[in-house]
Structure 1
Amino acid sequence: MAESVHNIDRYMLDFRQIVSNGRKKIGILIGAGAPVSINVGTPEQYEPLIPNIEGLTKKVKESLQGEELGSFSSIEKQLKNSNIERVLSEIRTLSEVIGENKIHGLDANGHKALSESICKEIKNVVDKPLPSSNNPYIELVSWINGMNRSYGVEIFTTNYDLLCEEALEKTKTPYFDGFSGSKMAFFDPSSISKNDLPPRWVRLWKLHGSIGWTSNDEGETIRIPVCEKSVMVYPSHIKYSQTQAAPFSSLFERLKNFLLEPDTLLITTGFSFADAHISSKISECLAANPTSAVFAFQYKTLEDETFATGLAAKNPNLSVYCKNGAVINSIQAKWKRGSLPNKDWEQIQTEFLNNKDEFLLGDFKLLARFLAIAGGDIIKPKLPESEGIDE
């Protein structure tokens, strides 16, 4: 029996029709890989607007000095495949258990101070404005605004930055993020659960908090223009328990409710599926609601996207699109070009496929461009059903 393949043209034609349909209920999950796609350096020297976890680890380490730097380096050497999440988890654990004893050169108070230094630098690194030139966040909003919609688009993001807010405000797009008010906006969970805003309003749900969130004297989370200490779920072993408390529990409940609604589509970009507390929630909802679907656009190959492909193997309504192939209907196969559905398709094909037959939409920048161009442009011809998967 011949090896299975996925016809990339058929699936991209279908996807283009879906995102050009204003009657579809669509959500977008934006992960940490999205701002990495924006180059603020030179063509010769790539510098991401906000780095990935490896770049973030490097920048945090460079910000430390003296005993804190020594302790960080010592922990980093001890851990296998260390990154900022593993190092911060170890530091927080030590701060809770060692008391006056010194490990890696610091006692419990020293590790607590180191944890605070790391969190402060993480906030500094992600506090970046959008480039003044055209960028994928603006193009994403352009697609959202490009058609009359029956349902408001919902943006879920694990990122702390204010890039989505800035793009929405630059384009004068009304949005709701769970807070009401202006001077010291208060969190309103009942508005999230009702979700009864007009369709032209974008819903923005920040699953891990934001650099613009802080706590008031009563310990409640509020949103203000600038704050010294932010309410955020920092990368460490306590992420799951933190998301079970307010205000994060209401935001995760919204993600769950969205996926349990009939005929919904969640598009993920820049998200590795390594966050088990999010991946498990998605998997649970997909199993409970076969009419919902997730399209995951991944930057790397099938072999490198094991978190996403492993989840897709168990959930047929989760489709994972990688550089060299996909997992669709739980079948993993490499890409293959199909017959052109119309005379304009060869030009459209260059938006999602390069001359090496590598799928391009795992890059947030190119996915946003694809959506912006597709907005309002429905292509009628369809490929034959048999051209989806060849055996």
Structure 2
Amino acid sequence: MSVSFHNPDQYMASLRTIIAQGRKRVGLLVGAGAPAGMARADGSRPLIPAVAGLTDLVLKAIEPTYGAQIIGLQNDLENHDIETMLSRIRSLGSVLGTTEVHGLDGGGYRAMADAICVEIGKIVQVRLPGGSTAYGELVSWITGAPRSHAVEIFTTNYDLLFEEALERARAPYFDGFAGAREAFFDPASVSGDQLPSRWTRLWKIHGSLGWKANADGEVVRTGQTDSTHLIFPEHMKYNQTQKAPYAALLDRLRSFLSTEDTLLVSIGFSFADAHITARIDEALAANPAASVFAFQFQKLDKELCAVALASRRSNVSVYARDKAVINGVAAPWRTPGELPTKDWGPIRDSYWAAPPTGGEAEFKLGAIEDFARFFANSQTPQGFEPAPSPEAHPVPAITE
């Protein structure tokens, strides 16, 4: 019986060449797992908590006012994460009227939902630590080479970490808004490519701190850190994304992947957001020349949504700690003992090493800090012309 393996050296050598040259159209898809994997200035983690940590912080903050409702809802629900609870709270707020459930009527649950949203906004209002950061290193990679095409960053996160990193580096970017006092959203510029390629495109597909609805109901960017117009994780998410500016931003994701010879690299994104994954799926089905490389933090058997997409689309590759799905083949990693070149040792160490707690070597680039360092270190030295970029996945899995 034959057994297949994937060699990370082969795929990371290919990726390193692609991202070093600045010729290919490359985008990043950044999810909540990215800031959750970063350290604060004092060394504690996370910079912004993922769903479990977010749930604990939000519920603790609203417990003095809504303690009875929290207990009642947790008794009603199988899952107690903030996404599930907010979905139920929104539902109760929309259907109850003056009838009470767990001591609140419809208006009370609407107020509870607003309180949760306020707390979420407070939690994501963080600044980048001083010195080197993962976001800063990604910006260093973006600005470190002349580019034929602008790098496009698609993120579901509400924080302003990318904005801060780009501004620290004095790197120009466009987020779909134009203006100063109340910047307005310009869908024509989002759908076009008139700006210079050195301008990074930053697409906040679930909204951002500083967005609000003005008196006419239009979403504007204020430049502040308060937030009244985010798509919070709840049951209305799909309906909300059909409205401006969210529809235009999601259309941009689909059009980006509809362009030939395009690579979208994801980090910290679980692919559990059905409305985003559906657009990626549709675009890749129509355009086999586009590729998605998904770098996942957990082991492969925990990354169900990413694996499901890769099983349908051979142009989606999933890189997890212990295994990968590449060209539709799920197989464990195995690194051969011999280095591809005599200088490859430090490069291999950047993506393949034993965890700090000990144990067998594993693939590291599902962690944002290792991922960003790999990208930053891929920059081509001045005066050096790299070899032509190979195909994205020229080598099949090893079979024994």
Asked if Structure 1 and Structure 2 have the same fold, meaning a TM-score greater than 0.5 normalized by the shorter chain, the answer is yes
List per-residue Cα deviations over 1:215-263 (Å, max 9, x = no partner).
1111111111226442110110111110011110000000000000011
Amino acid across the alignment from 1:83: D
Q: Aligned partners of 2:65 and 2:181: how far apart in 1?
A: 40
Shift of 1:105: 1.9
Instruction: Say whether residues 1:68 and 2:54 are aligned partners.
Output: no
In the alignment, which residue of structure 2 is the partner of 1:47?
45
* Secondary structure, counterpart of 1:205 in structure 2: strand
In the alignment, which residue of structure 2 is the partner of 1:214?
212
Is there any run of 5+ residues in structure 2 with no aligned partner, and where?
Answer: 355-359
Shift of 1:357: 2.2
Q: Aligned partners of 1:231 and 1:213: how far apart in 2?
A: 6
Amino acid across the alignment from 2:221: R
In structure 2, which of residues 266, 280, 283 is the aligned counterpart of residue 285 of structure 1? 283
Change (3 A) 1:229 1:350: closer
List per-residue Cα deviations over 1:41-81 (Å, max 9, x = no partner).
756xx421100000000110011144512212321232112
Change (3 A) 1:108 1:367: same
In the alignment, which residue of structure 2 is the partner of 1:357?
361
Q: Aligned partners of 1:92 and 1:29: how far apart in 2?
A: 28
CA contact 2:292–2:315 (8 Å) conserved in 1: yes
Instruction: Say whether residues 1:32 and 2:19 are aligned partners.
Output: no
List per-residue Cα deviations over 1:106-147 (Å, max 9, x = no partner).
111110100000000000000111111210000000000110
CA contact 1:267–1:295 (8 Å) conserved in 2: yes
In structure 1, which of residues 237, 249, 274 is the aligned counterpart of residue 272 of structure 2? 274
In structure 2, which of residues 345, 365, 371 is the aligned counterpart of residue 367 of structure 1? 371
CA contact 1:39–1:48 (8 Å) conserved in 2: yes
Is there any run of 5+ residues in structure 1 with no aligned partner, and where?
Answer: none
Shift of 1:283: 0.9
Q: What is the TM-score of this pair, normalised by structure 2? A: 0.94
In the alignment, which residue of structure 2 is the partner of 1:10?
10
Could you tell which deviates more after superposition, 224-233 or 302-311? 224-233
In the alignment, which residue of structure 1 is the partner of 2:357?
none
Shift of 1:153: 0.2
Q: Aligned partners of 2:314 and 2:398: how far apart in 1?
A: 14
Shift of 1:328: 0.4
Q: Aligned partners of 2:60 and 2:103: how far apart in 1?
A: 18
In the alignment, which residue of structure 1 is the partner of 2:346?
347
In the alignment, which residue of structure 2 is the partner of 1:126?
124
Q: Aligned partners of 2:225 and 2:159: how far apart in 1?
A: 13
Amino acid across the alignment from 1:109: G
1:66-215 residue pairs with structure 2 within 5 A? 66-215=64-213
Shift of 1:380: 4.7
* Secondary structure, counterpart of 1:150 in structure 2: coil
* Secondary structure, counterpart of 1:85 in structure 2: helix
* Secondary structure, counterpart of 1:58 in structure 2: helix
Change (3 A) 1:272 1:142: same
% identical equivalent positions? 46
Amino acid across the alignment from 1:219: G
How many equivalent pairs are there? 389
Q: Aligned partners of 1:148 and 1:386: how far apart in 2?
A: 29
CA contact 2:300–2:322 (8 Å) conserved in 1: yes
Amino acid across the alignment from 2:17: Q
CA contact 1:41–1:48 (8 Å) conserved in 2: no
CA contact 1:214–1:227 (8 Å) conserved in 2: no
